[in-house]
Amino acid sequence: MYSNKVQDFGTPARGADATVSLQIDGTPVTVPAGTSLLRAAAEAGVRIPKLCATDSLEAFGSCRLCVVEVEARKGFPASCTTPCESGMKVTTQSKKLGDLRRSVMELYISDHPLDCLTCPANGNCELQDMAGVTGLREVRYGYAGANHLQGTKDTSNPYFTFDPTKCIVCSRCVRACDEVQGTFALTVQGRGFDSKIAAGPTDFLDSECVSCGACVQACPTATLMEKSIVEQGQPDHAVVTTCAYCGVGCSFRAEMKGAEVVRMVPHKDGKANHGHSCVKGRFAWGYATHPDRLKKPMIRSKITDPWREVTWDEAIAHAAGEIRRIQAKYGTASVGGITSSRCTNEETYLVQKLVRAAFGNNNVDTCARVCHSPTGYGLKTTLGESAGTQDFDSVEHADCIVVIGANPTDGHPVFASRMKQRLRAGASLIVIDPRRIDLVESPHVRAAFHLQLKPGANVAVLNALAHVVVTEGLADESYVRERCDLAEYEKWRAFVALPKNSPEALEAATGVPAAAIRGAARLYATAGNGAIYYGLGVTEHSQGSTTVMAIANLAMVTGNIGRPGVGVNPLRGQNNVQGSCDMGSFPHELPGYRHVSDPAVRELFGKAWGVTIQDEPGLRIPNMFDAAIDGSFKALYVQGEDIAQSDPDTKHVQKALESLECLIVQDIFLNETAKYAHVLLPGSSFLEKDGTFTNAERRISRVRRVMPPLAGLADWEVTQALANALGQPMRYAHPAEIMAEIAALTPTFHGVTYDKLDRLGSIQWPCNDTAPAGTPVMHEQQFVRGKGRFVITDYLATDERTSRRFPLILTTGRILSQYNVGAQTRRTANTVWHERDVLEIHPHDAEQRGIRDGDTVALQSRKGETTLRAVVTERMQPGVVYTTFHHPESGVNVVTTENSDWATNCPEYKVTAVQVVAHVARSDWQRSFDQVADQQEALLPKSALLGGAPGEGR
Amino acid sequence: MHDRPRAATDPERERQAIADAIAEHRALRGATLPILHAIQERLGYVPEAAVAAIAAALNLSRADVHGVRTFYHDFRSAPPGRHVLKVCRAEACQASGCERTIAHLAARHGAALHATTADGRLTVEPIYCLGNCALGPSVQLDGRLHGRATPARIDALLAEAAAEERA
């Protein structure tokens, strides 16, 4: 379906409106001003030989293969560095040009190993191709002279090799690392004949390299090569699909041999990633065929019983029977379901439909509860729509970028690279974060302000920023008058102008010097286009929703919503968390964020589904846990979410799960939750099904099946079977039909079809009659709710306070190489970079406690205790410690508390009062974790796993 | 034998020299080269530890600094001998016999090009044009230019340097 070869135009496209017309080999050509001759020729179908040029990088002009002749001009200019001019007459092939190119190739080949037949790039090598097109027949210099053929291969990176003997020093890799990724980890070492590509003074693994793969992508030879290609050979076909990791939603070409993936390559036409990738999407896909994958449905009556392998029919019949038995005994409302932000829109839609139609209640929730539910609430309240306002491309037009409670270089690396490109081009940066994240200061990027606030003080900082804007006359009054509700604005304006909201008055609460806040506010308000990007450091607080609204207030008062370059941009965590929210996963909302209390909406869906929809919102996830412990909630269907690891207060969650009579877990692995399950339904990875994901910029992209589901059924087919067994008919032959139903019932999706997605590549909702190709930037003419609404955002300190017993604040986050609960990334070579979670602690706090770097320490809160290895670092501020939750045995959520956002119950993962003490023994919880892990592994038949015994083959 | 590192390196002295050089020049535009020069001036070489320190101070990557440090042959990675003799090998000096001087250095003084004598007395390095072509072959001993550097003159210069050292 997709060609294995993708055309390379040599230099990037230019977006100029003005055009120039010229002749290339006698053919008239018209291109945007600034386009190179090389690209203009390529667009006209004329392929000029080239080696150092590629269309992801600016022209460099070093290889001299792309020389051309221009009438009435002297010499042989390189077509990559020569911009088109009107009236030019260009010749790309002549005897003289042929001689020149052949001579250049002769020099290259005189110092290149002639092992093409056994080279991993054989069949897909630009050097080989150029030797072919230039007609190289002999190398007059011979091969005996000085050369570079004795170099040693660097195999330190787990995913690719660097073989200097094959290197032509075109520096495409160096430029890709600089221009595209923005890490600057590569350089040309030495000079002249000694020039050599190097990852600084070390090997690749110990260098600054973040393994994004941009260099491998750019390499025209086998010098930088995926180990999978070295081992398996070149692919024979490719399928375009969407990455299943973070909310950036990168488009990838799954390059295949038969039903085997040989590599994932970022798709150049992907509108979210424009051909870039990160270490997770590019390389960490091996989990899909990991030996731990579940391949058989299983059931058991008690969680202490061994699992029994059964057929799909038996498993589904058993699950349906249990649901009905429990409902008969404990009532309709005693069961519920949880949708997955990792599954497709279609699958999520089916699970909430199953709950509302077949279970007959609204007890459906999703993992967005614990991440971005405050975004939905806050943005809906202020702007009228529960989603980010911009597309990612918008950042190219930003003049001042504000990053609040997000760590894009780790959490959303591909977007972070775009952001860094813009920062290097001159935009200013304000970082609001308790921790000194990489963006604050990293090669060629430096924040103008880092407001290093105390965890929990977001609202205070935002109020102080707004105070400065309002009291120093920096508000965009005409924008507010035209676009916003004035009565609400006046009330809000009076509120933020109060002396108690001044940066000086709030200094003690925020821990940020007032002068820095004033400076940052002035910069954001006056820089031109101000764009705010935020993450879970905003939402996962007791005032999460308040913070989101405070952000919206700040953007509105400065006129920074409704055009490219500005906006309020939540960086959504998981691949489809935007989609799972859109699809009606919340207990109070049907698809498209329409409240269940609205009779018209209930009627619409009820009629389509042939049922009566309940008018009361159902249980949220934390309510489900409480109800399970109370005894009123007895059965739960969980698709692709590991609540036992990801939700706060683990011991409480475990108790709730143990209280259920029937827990149905659908997952690709025996995850932590599955250890408490009675029915285990094997899930399918993103490579095994069709569907769509919606990323953080509301972009709906196709997920395409490249291999059959390992256990026989895609996730949507499992839900469908369960619905049918419960007597609620679902007869979809393909996810396209599910999308057709979604589109018919949801105004923001009215115009979405699989055909259109295939045609356009991707679509940003709203997509309907008024915006048939989708909507990159929202609220352009007016806010979705009509007038933008300012909401008063009183700062209230969280109840979670430090004390003598718990004098430190724990805050949590993510790192680049691992993803969420780590179920996928822990089963890849990414563990090289992060084999365990660590506790970051400031040198002052460490010294007081006699803790040295690398010590094992106990982390204690009023909820529980765990042990971690300490990393002493000045990245932290004194009084604050930090960790991640990628490894289940770390037990970070044993320590986090039940506190949550006042509006949405999003847990307060970011603030827990803790003590840290030097310690060596594992905590009680960890010992019981080990015990449960061993016990559950023993209960699992080996034959139910892809690789035989569990845990092997890491 | 390329017996480069002989003078013992002192990490504390290195750290101090790097810190001083950075403090002195970091405010300059394009401070990498001035800092590398200042370190070499202080230590006689640029230790690898300088790479990370300069990168952190100037908001560069380690690879950026490594690239610059390795591009210029003038930056040494290990301490030189007590005296440094740079011998011009550009065209004019080649025509007037610099290769003879180089051979003499190796034979008489045990000092090969790019190397330091075993006793740590002398490092010999090539250089390409000192702008003294009319008086070639030219050399530079400890920063001072000398023309007509015949083997005899080299012996005299080195003897003079040794005498100064003893004094």
Instruction: Please report which confidence band the pLDDT of residue B23 belongs to, taking 50, 70 and 90 as the band edges.
Output: very high
Is A874 part of the contact surface with chain B (CB cutoff 8 Å)? no
Residue A443 to residue B61, Cβ atoms within 8 A: yes
In 3-state terms, what secondary structure has residue B8?
A: coil
CB contact under 8 A, B64 and A199: no
B59–A201 C-beta distance less than 8 A: no
Phi-psi region of A171 (alpha: psi -120 to 50; beta: other; left: phi over 0): left
Q: Is A199 on the interface with B (CB under 8 A)?
A: yes
Any residues with CB less than 8 A from the CB of A707 and at least 6 apart, and which?
A: A259, A260, A261, A687, A688
- The DSSP line for A720-767 is HHHHHHTT-----SSHHHHHHHHHHH-GGGTT--HHHHHHHSEEESP-
- Chains A, B: CB contacts within 8 A come to 52
Whether B51 and chain A come into contact, CB under 8 Å, resolves to: yes
Distance between CA atoms of residues B79 and A101, nearest Å = 45
Smallest CA-to-CA distance from A586 within A366, A381, A748 is with A366
Q: Which residues of A touch B48 (CB under 8 A)?
A: 201
Q: Do A201 and B62 touch (CB under 8 A)?
A: yes
Please list every residue in chain B whose beta carbon sits closer than 8 Å to the beta carbon of residue A444.
59-61
Cα–Cα distances in Å, from B52 out to A201, A465, B66? Answer: 10, 36, 9
Question: What confidence score (pLDDT) does residue A947 get?
Answer: 86
Residues in chain B closer than 8 A to A200 (CB atoms): 51, 61-63, 66
Torsion of CA A208, A279, A376, A693, to 10 degrees: 160
- Check residue B3 and give its pLDDT: 41
The whole-number pLDDT of residue A949 equals: 60
Amino acid A15: pLDDT: 86
Closest chain B residue by Cα to residue A200: B63
CB contact under 8 A, B61 and A188: no
Residues of A in contact with B60 (CB under 8 A): 184, 443-444
Rounded CA-CA distance A475/A463 in Å is 14
Q: Among A200, A441, A442, whose Cβ lies nearest the Cβ of B63?
A: A200
Domains and CATH numbers, chain A: 19-93 (3.10.20.740), 160-289 (3.30.70.20), 298-372+577-734 (3.40.50.740), 384-570 (3.40.228.10), 808-920 (2.40.40.20)
ipTM comes to 0.91
- Token pair for residue A626? 């409480």
- The conformation of residue A355, written as its DSSP 8-state character, comes to I
Does A189 lie at the interface with B, CB-CB under 8 angstroms?
A: yes
Please, are residues A241 and A706 in contact by the beta-carbon 8 Å criterion? Answer: yes
Does B74 contact chain A (CB < 8 Å)? no
Beta bridge partners of A246: A574
**Looking at chain A, how many residues does it have?**
954
Q: Does B48 touch chain A (CB under 8 A)?
A: yes
CA distance A38 to chain B (A): 29
CA distance A204 to chain B (A): 11
C-alpha to C-alpha distance for A705 and A682, rounded to whole angstroms: 17
Task: Give which of B70, B114, B128 to mutate to test A binding, by max A Cβ within 10 Å.
Answer: B70
CB A79 within 8 A of CB A59: no
d(C-alpha B86, C-alpha B153), whole Å: 14
Tell whether A429 is within 8 A of chain B (Cβ).
Answer: no
CB of B49 less than 8 A from some CB of A: no
Contact A188/B at CB under 8 A: yes
Residue B5, pLDDT > 50, answer: no
Q: What is the pLDDT of residues B79-92, one digit of tens each?
A: 999 999 999 999 99
Task: Give the span between the Cα atoms of A424 and A409, in whole angstroms.
Answer: 15
* Percentage of chain B lying above the pLDDT 90 cut: 84
Maximal C-alpha separation, chain B? 50
**Is A208 in the B-facing interface, judged by CB distances under 8 Å?**
yes
In this complex, which of B59, B61, B71 lies closest to A208 when CB atoms are compared? B61
Q: Which CATH architecture is the domain B83-166 placed in?
A: 3-Layer(aba) Sandwich (3.40)
Contact B60 A200 (CB under 8 A): no
Burial letters for A556-591: b for 16+ Cβ neighbours within 10 Å, e otherwise? Answer: bbbbbbbbbbbbbbbbbbbbbbbbbbbbbbbbbbbb
Q: What is the mean pLDDT of each run of 10 residues along chain A (954 residues)?
A: 69 93 96 97 96 96 96 96 97 97 96 94 94 95 90 96 97 97 97 95 96 97 96 95 96 95 96 96 96 96 95 97 97 96 96 97 93 93 94 97 97 97 98 97 97 97 98 97 96 97 97 98 97 96 96 98 96 92 95 96 96 95 96 97 91 95 97 96 97 96 96 97 96 97 96 96 95 95 95 94 94 91 92 93 96 94 93 96 92 91 92 90 89 92 82 41
Q: Nearest by CB to B61, from A184, A188, A190: name it.
A: A184
pLDDT at site A919? 80
| Unique residue bearing structure tokens 């996963």 | A585
Helix (H, G, I), strand (E, B), or coil: what is residue A171?
A: coil
Dihedral sign, CA of B27, B30, B34, B39? positive
Instruction: Find chain B residues with C-beta within 8 A of A208's C-beta.
Output: 61-63
Helices (H) and strands (E) in chain A, counts: 30, 36
Q: How far is A437 from chain B (nearest CA, A)?
A: 14
